[in-house]
Structure 1
Amino acid sequence: MSELSIRIKIADREYPMRVNEDEEERLRQAGKYLNERLRMFREEFGIHDKQDLLAMIALETAADKIKTEDAAVETQLSLEEKLSSLNQLLSSLQLG
């Protein structure tokens, strides 16, 4: 996998990066997402300080990540319970 030199612009600042080819599109999408959130927070809350805007976006993103992780744990537990029930059912059918 080859590395690329790219620049991602966030809040009117460019950040040079060296990334693998398969990461480029994801990072560009992340930069676009951050800039859209910056614009939304600026318009919705009238905040113009970039540090405050970026802190709000970081907090929102961290909260979303925690919510997603919690949902994944719940899904995993639910699947484990269902598989256990199926295993018990199959075991009872084999014995009976």
Structure 2
Amino acid sequence: MAELSIKIRIADREYPMKVDASDEERIRTAGRIINERLKAYKDAFGIDDKQDLLSMVAFDCMVDKLRADEKYSNTDETVIERISHINSLLSQAL
């Protein structure tokens, strides 16, 4: 895959990076979401300290990730249970 050199601005700092072309949109979207969350926390709590804002966003992102992991884990378990049940039914039918 082709690598692109891009710059992402987060909290008024620019971060140059090399990314696969297939990941560019995802990375730019991630940067935009981080900046939106920074602004939301700044507006909601009146916090100007970038370190505090970044920490709050990092915490928020981790909670979102854990929630998604739990959801997918539960979904995986449900799928496995259903497949096992179907296999059992098929075995009985044969």
Q: Taking structure 2 as the reference length, what is the TM-score of the superposition?
A: 0.96
Correspondence for 1:37: 37
Correspondence for 2:25: 25
How many residues of Structure 1 are paired with residues of Structure 2 in the alignment?
Answer: 94
Q: Taking structure 1 as the reference length, what is the TM-score of the superposition?
A: 0.94
Structure 1 gap segments, 5+ residues each: none
SS of match in other structure, 2:47: coil
Where do 4+ consecutive residues of structure 1 move more than 2 Å? none
Which residues in structure 2 correspond to 1:1-96 (within 5 Å)?
A: 1-94=1-94
Identity %: 48
SS of match in other structure, 1:39: helix
Offset of residue 28 of structure 1 = 0.6
Offset of residue 40 of structure 1 = 0.3
Offset of residue 12 of structure 1 = 0.6
Instruction: Give 1 or 2 for the bigger CA radius of gyration.
Output: 1
